[in-house]
Amino acid sequence: MALGRAWSVAVSGVDGHVVEIEADIGGGLPAVKMVGLPDTALQESRDRVRAAVSNSGGKWPDSKVVLALSPATLPKVGSVYDVALACAVLNAADVVPLESMSTTALIGELALDGRVRPVRGVLPAVLTAKKHGWSRIVVPVGTMTEAALVDGIDVYGAATLRELVLWLQGDGPLERPDPTAAPSRETRGDLAEVVGQREARRAIEVAAAGAHHLMLTGPPGVGKTMLAQRLPGILPELTDAHALEVTAIHSVAGLLSPDRPLVTEPPFIAPHHTASVTALIGGGSGTAKPGAVSRAHRGILFLDEVAEMGPKTLEALRTPLEDGEVRIARRDGVARYPARFQLILAANPCPCAPARDADCTCAPTARRRYLGKLSGPLLDRVDLRVRMQSVATSALMGETGESTDDVRARVAEARAAAADRWGEFGWATNAEVPGPALRQRFRLPGDALKPVEWALRKGAITARGADRALRVAWTLCDLDGATSPDEVHVAAALDFRDRGAA
């Protein structure tokens, strides 16, 4: 009887767990048995691993092989364990030494000929290995640039199982990642291309400066989608910590490319209006996959034609908007994905949506029903609402507005002011500041709060709406270069909540 060991990493959501793999070669008829809650893909790895070892010049044991994955109560999903399974068997057969395995985590899927194929979730797996004290990790060559984003752990790339075995035996090298240059900023449309719409352009700037949610309503062709698509261009690049967060989610979703392994810009995710709850929030069979809200983490989730979406789909947004994460329970456990995104909504005012309201042919009940899919609790979480109008000919043919570069500079200054003010408390933008902190620790003078108090007495806003108006007031203050919001800033913030009314 011989016993071998190897180590790999299981990824659930963006969290990881180190998995110990034991291989026992004992008496009995030739067979391979796997224990430790493997899913179907992992059960099939028995044949992949056996063929890969044989086709790489090794010899598979002619007796019973038991493979155990620990912790036994943790569901194991996917083909990420193939390389570690093969090395555990080879260690039990005294082909590779345990000394070289005890400090190395192994990740990768095996082809039948012994090639090591890329897998999803390499970045969170490497982060987990580093967190648990591993000094080096072997990943597929195609994911080396992604794995190399993590400092403090040695990353090696294996192209074939034979190459990896020789390296573990001390007889050959493995590839190491080359330093990669920071990717250039993606080319996007310029804000100067949007003519007219002064209020909507101002709302886009305020939304970018404070990371506020925004809703644009208006007839087709007035520039709602055009404005939303130019919002990423005026946002600052992600910080190093946020870039790793976003990249880890995109790694699990399989969206990274070798030429751009690190997501440095706020993502812009725009699902179709027919998207399901699962597509928007995340899910699927087995382990839940990240949805649009998580892929938009630290970026923008743009829902165009939002009034065409189903009420159930829209209501699913309420919890992520409040919590900044989604927790999806499935058969194989609970997956947690961050989802702190900036929500941008765009909708026509009614089904017929003529250029002029006077030409509308919809019945009053049809108009109410059309935007009625957006419930009060959901709209209460939207900080800025703007009703856009058709552009006059003089504005359409007139001079262009400010460019993206000019607006981005003001947004950067406003965000820097907010970061200096809230940084010691762990908040980066005004939208992240909790309501109790605004009302108690950073309470504004009585004169500045008069518009909010009046609106609360009249029942025009809820308590949540009051908190959100105060956050917008702080953003308006930062854009103006002031130290504290005054009554004008608070009144303007409340006005932004009313401009979307039909």
Q: What is the CATH number of the domain that holds 59?
A: 3.30.230.10
Q: Is residue 420 part of a domain?
A: no
Average pLDDT over residues 366-381: 88
Summarised one tens digit per residue, pLDDT across range 335-354 is 889 999 999 999 998 888 88
With a cut of 70, say whether residue 30 has pLDDT above it: yes
Please name the residue ranges forming H helices in 235-283. Answer: 240-253, 277-281
Alpha carbon distance 406, 410 (integer Å): 7
**Final residue of a structural domain among 350, 375, 408:** 408
Looking at the structure, tell me whether residues 127 and 205 fall in a common domain. Answer: no
Spatial contact of 300 and 344, defined as CB atoms under 8 Å apart: yes
Q: What is the pLDDT of residue 182?
A: 58
Looking at the structure, tell me whether residues 462 and 396 fall in a common domain. Answer: no
With a cut of 60, say whether residue 86 has pLDDT above it: yes
Looking at the structure, tell me whether residues 314 and 209 fall in a common domain. Answer: yes
Choice between 440 and 23, residue whose per-residue pLDDT is larger: 23
With a cut of 90, say whether residue 399 has pLDDT above it: no
Helix (H, G, I), strand (E, B) or coil at 8: strand
Summarised one tens digit per residue, pLDDT across range 420-456 is 999 999 999 999 999 999 988 888 988 999 999 999 9
Instruction: Say which CATH number the domain at 338 has.
Output: 3.40.50.300
Residue 373 CB neighbours (<10 A): 18
What does pLDDT average to over the chain?
90
20 phi and psi, to 5 degrees? -90, 130
The pLDDT > 90 percentage for the chain reads: 70
Alpha carbon distance 338, 340 (integer Å): 6
Looking at the structure, tell me whether residues 124 and 207 fall in a common domain. Answer: no
**Final residue of a structural domain among 351, 375, 408:** 408
Q: Is residue 413 part of a domain?
A: no
With a cut of 70, say whether residue 235 has pLDDT above it: yes
- CA-based R_g, the chain, Å: 27
Looking at the structure, tell me whether residues 457 and 491 fall in a common domain. Answer: yes
Summarised one tens digit per residue, pLDDT across range 300-318 is 999 999 999 999 999 999 9
Listed range (71-80, 160-169, 253-262, 289-298) with the worst mean pLDDT: 253-262
Looking at the structure, tell me whether residues 143 and 263 fall in a common domain. Answer: no
Q: Is residue 382 part of a domain?
A: yes
Pairing assessment for the beta strands 325-330 and 289-290 based on DSSP bridges: unpaired
Q: What is the pLDDT of residue 230?
A: 94
Looking at the structure, tell me whether residues 376 and 470 fall in a common domain. Answer: no
With a cut of 80, say whether residue 499 has pLDDT above it: no
Average pLDDT over residues 482-500: 89
What would the two tokens of residue 22 be?
């034991």
Q: What is the pLDDT of residue 35?
A: 94
**Final residue of a structural domain among 133, 168, 203:** 168
Q: Is residue 158 part of a domain?
A: yes
Q: Is the preceding peptide bond at 354 cis, omega within 30 degrees of 0?
A: no
Summarised one tens digit per residue, pLDDT across range 158-187 is 999 999 999 999 998 999 988 765 566 677
387 phi and psi, to 5 degrees? -100, 115
Spatial contact of 438 and 263, defined as CB atoms under 8 Å apart: no
Looking at the structure, tell me whether residues 197 and 326 fall in a common domain. Answer: yes
Choice between 332 and 188, residue whose per-residue pLDDT is larger: 188
The pLDDT > 70 percentage for the chain reads: 95
Q: What is the pLDDT of residue 312?
A: 93
Highest mean pLDDT among 1-10, 39-48, 467-476: 467-476
Choice between 93 and 372, residue whose per-residue pLDDT is larger: 93
Q: What is the pLDDT of residue 502?
A: 43
Looking at the structure, tell me whether residues 158 and 226 fall in a common domain. Answer: no
Alpha carbon distance 306, 319 (integer Å): 18
Alpha carbon distance 259, 426 (integer Å): 33
Q: Is residue 296 part of a domain?
A: yes
Q: Is residue 178 part of a domain?
A: no
Alpha carbon distance 393, 224 (integer Å): 18
With a cut of 90, say whether residue 260 has pLDDT above it: no
Query: In the 8-state DSSP scheme, what is residue 423?
Result: G
pLDDT band at 330 (very low <50, low <70, confident <90, very high): confident
Q: Is residue 293 part of a domain?
A: yes
Looking at the structure, tell me whether residues 36 and 155 fall in a common domain. Answer: yes
Looking at the structure, tell me whether residues 195 and 163 fall in a common domain. Answer: no
As for how many domains the chain has, the answer is 3
Choice between 180 and 238, residue whose per-residue pLDDT is larger: 238
Residue 328's domain spans which residues?
191-408
Looking at the structure, tell me whether residues 404 and 437 fall in a common domain. Answer: no
Average pLDDT over residues 463-479: 95
Q: Is residue 186 part of a domain?
A: no
Residue linked to tokens 């790694």: 251
Q: What is the pLDDT of residue 439?
A: 87
